[in-house]
Amino acid sequence: MNRLYNINNRVMGKFFLVFGALVIMMSCGKDVDQFIPRTSLEETGNVDRLMTKLQSDIAGDVTTTLSCRCSGGEAFEVDKDLVLVIPIGFVDLAKFPCINGFFEIKVTVCDTKGEILISGLPTISEGKLLESRIEMNIQIYDGTTPVKLAHGKQIQILVNDPDPRERMELFYGGDQEWIQADRNPATWDNVLNSEWFINIDSGQQIISGFGYECFSDSLDWINVDVFFEVPAEQRTTVCVDLPEEFTNTNTTVFMVFNDYNSILVMNGDAETMQFCEPYGAAPLGFNVTFVVLSEMGEDDYLFSTQSAVITPGLIEIINPKKTPYEEIEKYINTL
């Protein structure tokens, strides 16, 4: 490695594409296409428009574009805590000729609660709650052409953390929850606590750090998380009861854990006419904040946050209020 790039070319378009396909999962019911209101009301709102607008507006803060020479063998500092080490020969040039002389690597990093909420990927795996250290999406392009990693090649991922946790694991993004990279619930040896010193520019510069180290042979969504070890008898389902005009067409509801980097999506339940956490994964006694986002028509937004302590079978009653978009965006950015 002889060059270091630290390029903060914020790209909205990629973030928009990455998250666009994920918006659906944040607003759909578990087994129903539409959460029908209690009374016959004409539906004019669409929460997807609100979520897409929020994603677009924060894209410049979470997406970075890097330029990597065709042969690879480079290290990049991305965001405030992330280092990516690209191996030599990371792309099969016989399949992807590298026409421009370099490949673009676009990295979206979500490591705050607000960014995770907007990403649409809740911190859940196998029905169990996760605490996320960092979520990221890595894509490689030759111009506008998507490029795959060469067979057998892995990107080294280094995450600075002064107090690394034990039993951290590597996860890959699934349709509605995270999947363990090793597919083995009994092991957690694919994320190491490590200190690193990377020589670049013929030893003139050094990237150093301490925290987590792992290797990914997958692009798309990647996550470094740890399972909450909560006994089944200490977990419960939780529901939010909203006024009758709020449906999963115009509303999405999140449960944000106050003391952890963890977020669950509340699904619209057609039988109870409530928004419920579907996994029974909410740990008793934890402090949470419910976040309700709703769009009742173009530029007509309703919003609410409400704090609670998880108790058995909790049903939280919330009445969202009309709120300017700027206030909603500010809350998400500071969450």
The pTM of the full predicted model, rounded to 2 decimals, is: 0.81
What is the pLDDT at residue 44? 73
Q: pLDDT tens for residues 258-297?
A: 999 999 999 888 778 899 998 899 999 999 999 999 999 9
Q: pLDDT tens for residues 303-335?
A: 999 999 999 999 999 999 999 999 999 999 999
- Domain 232-334 class, CATH top level: mainly beta
Q: Burial, 37: exposed, middle or buried (Cβ in 10 Å; 0-12, 13-18, 19+)?
A: middle
Q: Classify each residue of 44-56 as buried b or exposed e, where b means 16 or more C-beta atoms within 10 Å of its C-beta.
A: ebbbbbbbbbbbe
What is the pLDDT at residue 42? 54
What is the pLDDT at residue 11? 36
What is the pLDDT at residue 3? 37
Written as one string, the DSSP assignment of 179-193 is EETT--TT---SSEE
Q: pLDDT tens for residues 207-230?
A: 899 999 999 998 889 999 999 888
Span 179-186, average pLDDT: 86
Q: Which residue has the higher pLDDT, 29 or 316?
A: 316
The confidence band for 201, taking pLDDT boundaries of 50, 70 and 90, is: low
The confidence band for 36, taking pLDDT boundaries of 50, 70 and 90, is: very low
The confidence band for 102, taking pLDDT boundaries of 50, 70 and 90, is: very high
* The total number of residues written for the chain in this structure: 335
What is the pLDDT at residue 43? 57
pLDDT, averaged across the chain: 85
Each domain of the chain, given as residue ranges in start order, spans 4-227, 232-334
Residue 90, pLDDT > 60, answer yes
Question: For residues 73 and 202, what is the distance between their CA atoms, to the nearest angstrom?
Answer: 13
Span 189-207, average pLDDT: 82
191 phi and psi angles, rounded to 5 deg: -130, 120
Question: For residues 180 and 200, what is the distance between their CA atoms, to the nearest angstrom?
Answer: 32
Question: What residues pair up with 287 in beta bridges, in sequence order?
Answer: 309
